[in-house]
Chain A
Amino acid sequence: MATSVATRRRAAHRQPALRSLTSLVTWGWERLGAPVDGRKVPGTRIVAVTSLLVGYLACLYTIGQGTNLDYSDAQSHLTIARRIFDSKAPGFEQLGTVWLPMPHLLLAPFVLNTWLFSTGWAAGLLGILALSATTTGLYLIAARLGLGRAGRLATTLVVLANPAVLYVYTTALTEPVLIMCIVGGMAGLAHWATSRRRMSAGELAVFAGIPSAAAVLSRYEGWALVMTGTLFVLVVAKRRTGGWREAFIMAGGYVMVPAAAVLWWISYNWAIYGNPLEFMFGQYSAYAQQKNITDGGLLPTKGNLGLTLTTFHWSLLETAGMVVLALAACGAVVLVFRRGFANSTLLVAVTGSAYAFALLSLFLGQTAINNDHSLPSTWWNNRFALTALPLVAILVAVFVHEITRPARLRPWVIGALLATLAAQNAWWNEDPTGRLAVLAEGRMSAESTTNSTAAARWLHDHYESGGILMDESARGNAVLPVMGIPLKEIYNRAAGDYFGPALKDPAKYAKWVFVNVEAGTGARDSGPTDLVYRAMVSDPSFNVRYSVAFSTPTHRIYERSSD
């Protein structure tokens, strides 16, 4: 009897808990479909928290597997961020000029911890935040465009139900920061364009200008965003006020922060390298790298629009998936049909500026993308297709919103869409690294650095002290996070004035030498030759003073023979 009473009590206790959970879900569900109220967009926090959770799970998976460090570039970004503080020559000049600085600046606080740096969790944590910001921003844009619950959630699902996107957000690649900033800028512009209250130029600068400036300092696609964004502000402000003066004031308000960011970057290049356009034409610039490829005839997209479109869209298709792209295409038609060239349509068009910029860069030969349908076919830079993600997500949202309008059909339509998305994921899951371009490229990158990674791991296990001489910029040598050794122990190109003397007399400085021994045998576009190897072969005494401690077909580790 007593047991029975206790059970009933527990059940009675559980019922309110169940009721409160049900009411919480109901409340959340209603919030996700509630109309926008001024600055507040109901449901934002729900999306943000959910995305944080999904991002964390994605990190647990990829970092657990070690695939988050598959891309050599990912390891380079982690290294650049850390060497601002931890290097033979620490300082902001370590940001370099090859890449824009924002991703490294945002990574910097996370890489201070060696474990976070060497496991890649530093990038994972930033990626989780970036994923949350991206989905939240897309949700905000969808809500500001007047889309209902189905449309808003569709934008979120496009991101969160895509393994390639989730993978990239667990790495230190620049895309998570870039997309976050683009979406942030777009969300600010959407707020400004749809707000009933006239926002000031200052408010526009804060809500749209600052994220856009961050995008400008993340990747050059951000520059395209600012250009089209400025045009958008000009047109919308003119439509609203009818006066050019007001329009120019608003456009100026938006563009001033990004413009300051551009000026800062040019000044930085001037100050550090003595050339304001070092980032465009310098030794390590994309231009210099592309020149080798162009000279080798391996940039066939240059001047060939058809091949440009084919190459880019295969990357996009093998990243976003057929289902999502088909919905997005339908969304574009629906958008123009429903809204013509209204401000909301223009806003969506601005979202696509990064996509257009990526296409233009490919057509002009400023970037190279390779996939299994390109010429030649290999895997290279497929993640650039992710710049189209915001546009695709918004267009999908527009279409989903449209087709779920009839309440009678809504459950069926939503069910069918979810089933199709699940089928797409199931198909990907059968062969993820064969069917998702971003993952295929990661695997290829990892396979190409198997030897250097093994060497780095060996050094991680055996290094105690004495310094390491290596040319981290050479092909396959971007393995410092895997090595997991404080960067101040390493004599490399980033060591500035320490590197030259160490090359001349390695034994005086470094107990260990990490070297790529395949110099001159690699492909034309495979990166700079290992300066350490070059110095080593020209030094007849090297083999007397050092002995091989670890060897692979491409990489060797030498240890000083006597201390």
Chain B
Amino acid sequence: MTQTPARPRARSHAGAIILACAATLALSAVTAPGAIAAPPEGAALRTSSSVSALAGQNEQTLVVPVTAGLEPTRVKGTIVVSGKPEGTVRATVNGRVVLETKAAASIPLDAAVSAADMTAADVAGQQLTVGLQFVAATQTMCVVSNATATLNNLAVDFSGTAKVPTTVGEFFPASVPAVVLPVPAEPGADVSAAIMTASAAMSHRYPDAAVSVVPDTELAARAANLPAGSRVLSVVADQGETSTELATAAGLPQLILSGHDDQLRTAARALSSDKTALAVTSSVTGLTSALPAAPGLVQSLKDLGSSTLKLSGYGTPESYVGVTQSQFGGPVSSVKVQLKGTHTAVPDNAQAQVSVFWNDYLLSSKNLDGGDTFTVDADVPAGQLQAKNGLRIRLAALPAGGDCTGPAGVMPMEVTVDTAGSNLTAVRGGSTKAGFARFPQTFGQSVPVAFGPGNAQANTVNAASLVASLQRDSATLLDTRMVGLDDLAGSSESGLVVGATADAANRLSAPLRLAEFRTIAPADVEYGVGTTAPFGVLEAFEQGGRDLLLLGAWAPEGDTAGASTLQASLASHVSGVEGGWASLSRNLLVTQPSGTPVLLESNVVVPQKAVTDDYRPYAWWIGGAVLILGLAFALRTVLMRRRAKAAQDYVDAEQKATEPGHGN
């Protein structure tokens, strides 16, 4: 009998995606000396990323994009096994087994590969899929080893010359390791908006690529460290029709998008579409794209990215589906889960249950018995809903008599979830406390951005970097547009403020004003920060029923250069932080002159004078109350006098009527 491992397809789909993302992200940090459009033969792509496979888990893969024109020659790395190294470790390239050996604490990987191992990612790119599997020595059919094999420091040697794209379609292959967006000095509002939109478009289109935004003077320095296949995307103002042009910048293929006003922004938005791959000319004019429709509040598991969901075997095989609030097109206050599926017959004396967890909270559990179908209806309780969530479906099955050791030939339990017919129904509303966790879903699809006065180039760089980070956590394309600070302050829309001044922070009632501050526990920030040393801050807060992000800085004696540097370092930190935007918790990210930025809750900040002063006008409530009571008293007095006068007049008239001689 084939004994099925207890976690046969555990997280296979989502896990592969996550690992591929991680790997490709890491590839952006590849050190490839002289990585230009035509790298020298024998260069290596080296990555510090890793791919892990749990014992008994299906093969886990790592996708390495290979630029057109290059040919891989060797794949190298080290496989480390944690836990008991019992079983077999297998490495594959595009499904071809390149290594199969008995598990050991450390196993070197060095295998020859060729062009035949590559698969075409699209017309303009190819990829190498490296797989890792840890086949555990079987213990029982219900118990799984928790040992893990990890492939570290994957390096790919390659030969050949990278092909320079000659059409817009080739400029946008299926995957790229990195995209750089240079920002010209003093960009106009239309260029800034287009750069931010392009930044979102690239992050949306290439979720695994490192998207960076730099001042154009720093392009060469940034490009020097990028791997082959990276792209430069420039946006320039031009009063003519919106058009694209291919060129080379800093040794990398460059696409120049030119145009003006809102057409420039919509053209930048169009770059997110796969349809650009169809452009077979070096220049395209009139590029435009409508904003994709917002996702609805009902999403099937298939819509959420899980096209097949099958659990089989004994023990506790499980599968995981990531669910973000942005997949429902905005913030949601509750989610109803309805799962439908089928299962194989449960043998006599065997037991099987299907359990559904939401962020490790058990939503529902059902015994699988009579019949061959099951449904699970469950509400996610308030408080369990986060920006990013995980729906875990677990099959818990025991063979007949609970005997996990045999006999051979036991039919495995199997459960198949109908991913198209299983739905998650959300209700629009809020579920998380004000802070970073409300982003990006609070934007829906629209991100109005306002700049503070001053350096538009720096503001554009910072804003586009933040937008790129937000986009990575958003399922929908973010439509970024420039608005005036006054307009944003007066609107009810959520938005982003970059380069905020102290006045702007006061006006928007930011929890941390750009002024001196101290924390309740002095150890929260470096000594002097906020009093004698400058600080930069990214704040996420609720104001007037909407959520705002504000990036600003404070420096003693108006050190604007220092303040600008701190803002740039914060934007850069958010772009590169491990875990991305989702790793930001609380509502303040404060950067300090030295050391790493710290996440703070505004509650740990001793109330600043500017904050407490906001409340002083409420003192007029007393005046208002006294005024209302005074008016009530005045009205009473007037009415009483009138009544007294009327009574007096009546008495006078009566007296007059009874006077002798009256009426004669």
Contacts and interface: CB of A to CB of B under 8 A. Distances in A.
A306 B607 contact: no
Given A306-B616, A309-B618, A298 B606 contact: yes
Nearest to A311: B615
Interface string A337-376: 1101100000000000000000000000000000000011
A236 B376 CA distance: 72
A243 interface: no
B633 A307 contact: no
Nearest to B639: A337
Name, among B603, B612, B629, the residue most crowded by chain A CB atoms within 10 Å (CB to CB). Answer: B612
Interface in A274-306: 296-298, 300, 304-306
Contacts of A341: 633
Contacts of A337: 632-633, 635-636
Contact of A310 (B615, B632, B635, B637): B615
Contacts of B603: 376-378
Contacts of A12: none
B143 to A, nearest CB: 33
Interface in A298-333: 298, 300, 304-307, 309-310, 332-333
A309 B611 CA distance: 15
Nearest to B629: A336
Contact of B611 (A332, A375, A523): A375
A46 B26 CA distance: 77
Given A296-B606, A333-B628, A378-B603, A338 B636 contact: yes
Given A298-B520, A376-B607, A306 B629 contact: no
A304 B616 contact: yes
Interface in B250-276: none
Contact of B612 (A296, A304, A333, A377): A304
Given A300-B607, A332-B629, A375-B607, A307 B636 contact: no
A309 B616 CA distance: 9
B187 to A, nearest CB: 39
A442 B27 CA distance: 52
A239 interface: no
A508 interface: no
A293 B621 CA distance: 27
B617 interface: yes
Contacts of A524: 520
A270 B307 CA distance: 81
Nearest to B518: A297
Contact of A305 (B616, B628, B629): B616
B235 to A, nearest CB: 43
B408 interface: no
Contacts of B520: 296, 298, 376, 523-524
Given A376-B607, A524-B520, A300 B612 contact: yes
B430 to A, nearest CB: 13
B625 to A, nearest CB: 8
B293 interface: no
Contacts of B116: none
B1 interface: no
Interface residues of A, number: 24
B619 interface: yes
B622 interface: yes
Range of interface residues on chain B?
20 to 34
Interface in A142-179: none
Contacts of A296: 520, 606
Interface string B630-664: 00110111000000000000000000000000000
A298 B637 CA distance: 46
A328 to B, nearest CB: 12
B545 to A, nearest CB: 14
Nearest to A336: B632
Contact of B619 (A298, A305, A333, A375): A305
B629 A297 contact: no
Nearest to B521: A523
A510 B620 CA distance: 59
B616 to A, nearest CB: 4
Nearest to A430: B382
Nearest to A332: B629
A309 B620 CA distance: 10
B612 A375 contact: yes
Contacts of B637: 340
A524 B522 CA distance: 11
Nearest to A363: B619
A377 to B, nearest CB: 6
Given A296-B520, A297-B606, A300-B607, A336 B636 contact: yes
A485 to B, nearest CB: 35
A336 B633 contact: yes
A506 to B, nearest CB: 31
A337 B607 CA distance: 41
A377 B611 CA distance: 13
Contact of A340 (B617, B618, B636): B636
Contacts of B612: 300, 304, 307, 375
Interface string A90-133: 00000000000000000000000000000000000000000000
Contacts of A336: 629, 632-633, 636
Nearest to A303: B612
A307 B616 contact: yes
A524 B621 CA distance: 33
B606 A340 contact: no
Contacts of B607: 297-298, 300, 375-376
A378 B632 CA distance: 38
A305 B636 contact: no
B622 A309 contact: yes
A298 B619 CA distance: 20
A310 B602 CA distance: 19
A306 B633 contact: no
Contacts of A304: 612-613, 615-616
Contacts of B625: 332
A294 to B, nearest CB: 11
Nearest to A375: B607
Contacts of B632: 333-334, 336-337
Nearest to B616: A306
A378 B617 CA distance: 23
A251 B460 CA distance: 74
A333 to B, nearest CB: 5
Nearest to B517: A297
Contacts of B633: 336-337, 340-341
B619 A309 contact: yes
Contacts of A377: 603
Given A296-B520, A336-B629, A375-B612, A307 B606 contact: no
A405 B158 CA distance: 94
A307 B629 contact: no
A456 B328 CA distance: 48
Contact of A306 (B521, B605, B619): B619
A308 to B, nearest CB: 8
A307 B636 CA distance: 33
Nearest to A370: B603
A375 B612 CA distance: 8
B636 A333 contact: no
B606 A309 contact: no
A298 B621 CA distance: 24
B524 to A, nearest CB: 12
Nearest to B620: A306
Contacts of B606: 296-298
A241 B615 CA distance: 47
Sort A-B residue pairs by CB-CB distance and give the 3 closest, nearest first. A306-B618, A305-B619, A307-B615
25 contacts: A296-B520, A297-B606, A298-B520, A298-B606, A298-B607, A300-B611, A300-B612, A304-B616, A305-B616, A305-B622, A306-B618, A307-B618, A309-B618, A309-B619, A310-B615, A336-B629, A336-B633, A336-B636, A337-B633, A340-B633, A340-B636, A376-B520, A376-B604, A378-B603, A524-B520
Given A337-B633, A376-B605, A376-B607, 8 more contacts: A297-B606, A297-B607, A298-B520, A300-B612, A305-B622, A306-B618, A375-B611, A378-B603
